[in-house]
Amino acid sequence: MEIGIGLPGHAPWRDGRILVEWARRAEARGFSTLSVSDRLVWNTPEPLLTLAAAAGATSRIRLLTSVLLGPLRANHALFAKAVATLDQLAGPGRVRLGLSPGSREDDFAVGGVDWDSRGKQLDLLLERLAEPVGLAPATAGGPPLLFGGGSRATVRRIVSHGTGWIAGDATVEDVEGFAPQVRTAWADAGKAGAPRVIASVMYALGPGAEAAVADAIGPYYAFAGEEYSQYGISIAYTSPEQIAAAIPAFERAGCDELIFMGNDPDPGQVDLLADVVLTGR
C-alpha cells in the first residue's frame, strides 16, 4: 500500500507559499501522492491552481484532487482545457482527478449552480472531459478519474468513467463496507484488473496535534452539527502510535493507497509524518 499526504487546505493557513513548501517536502520525503481538497465557501485553495503550483515545485510526486466538486465547474469546455493544461505542466502520469457531486448546498448557492441537478451536471462534465479542447493532455487518454461518495451513482461513475474510488475522511469500516460493492460492479461490467481504492484520513502530530485538529476540523464540519463535528475530530490521528496502527489496518481492508490529510499548516508536519510512516519503507 502506498502512502500519500494531503495539503492542509481546510486548516487556518495564511500564506500560499507554505502549501508549495508542503509539496516540495512531500516529494523529498518520498510520499506517493500530494492531494488537495475542494470547497468554495471556505478558505480551501482552488485545487487545479494549487496543483499547478505544486507541479512547478516538484517533478515526481503524483498530484490528486481529493475531491474536486465537479458540478461547480459549470463551463465544461473551460474545465477540460484547465485539466489538460495542468496535466501538461505536471507531465505524463502525475495528475489524477478525484471528483464528487458535492455535499454543501452553500457552495452551490454562491457558485450559481443548481443544487438539485448537481449529479446530472457532473455526468455532463465527465462526457466533456473525454473531448480535448484546444490542448491535448500529456497523459494518454487524460488524467485517470476517481470518484468520492458512497451512493449507487458513485459506483456507476467509477465503472463507466473511472479507475477507482476515494473514501474521504474514512474509517477502516467505511472501506470494508463500500469497496466490495465497487469491486463487484467492476467485475460484473467485465472491466480488466481491479478498481483502485484510496482512503484519506485526517492527521496532525507534535505537542499541539489535538488542538490543531480541533481548530481545523471543528469549524470545517460545523455545518453538519456539533455531533458530527466532534466525530470528525475523534477519528483524526494525533499520535505516531495511532498512525502506525492505521497503516496495516487500511491495507488489510483492501486499500491501495492511504493519504494523511494535514490539519496543522506548519510544513514541519510533513517531516513528522514521514518519520513515522516512511522510515524503512
Smallest CA-to-CA distance from 200 within 233, 170, 228 is with 170
The whole-number average pLDDT for the span 40-49 is 97
pLDDT > 70: percent of the chain: 99
Q: How many domains does the chain have?
A: 1
pLDDT in tens, 103-132: 999 999 999 999 999 999 999 999 999 888
pLDDT in tens, 136-154: 999 999 999 999 999 999 9
Give the CATH number for residue 58: 3.20.20.30
- Omega into 197 within 30° of 0, i.e. cis? no
Pairing of strands 33-36, 2-6: parallel
The verdict on pTM exceeding 0.95 is yes
Task: List, as one string, the DSSP characters of 213-253.
Answer: HHHHHHHHTGGG-HHHHHHHHHTSB-SHHHHHHHHHHHHHT
What is the domain extent for residue 87? 2-277
pLDDT in tens, 210-241: 999 999 999 999 988 999 999 999 999 999 99
Q: Measured between alpha carbons, how far is 39 from 110 in angstroms, rounded to an integer? A: 11
Q: Which three cell numbers stand for residue 126?
A: 465527465
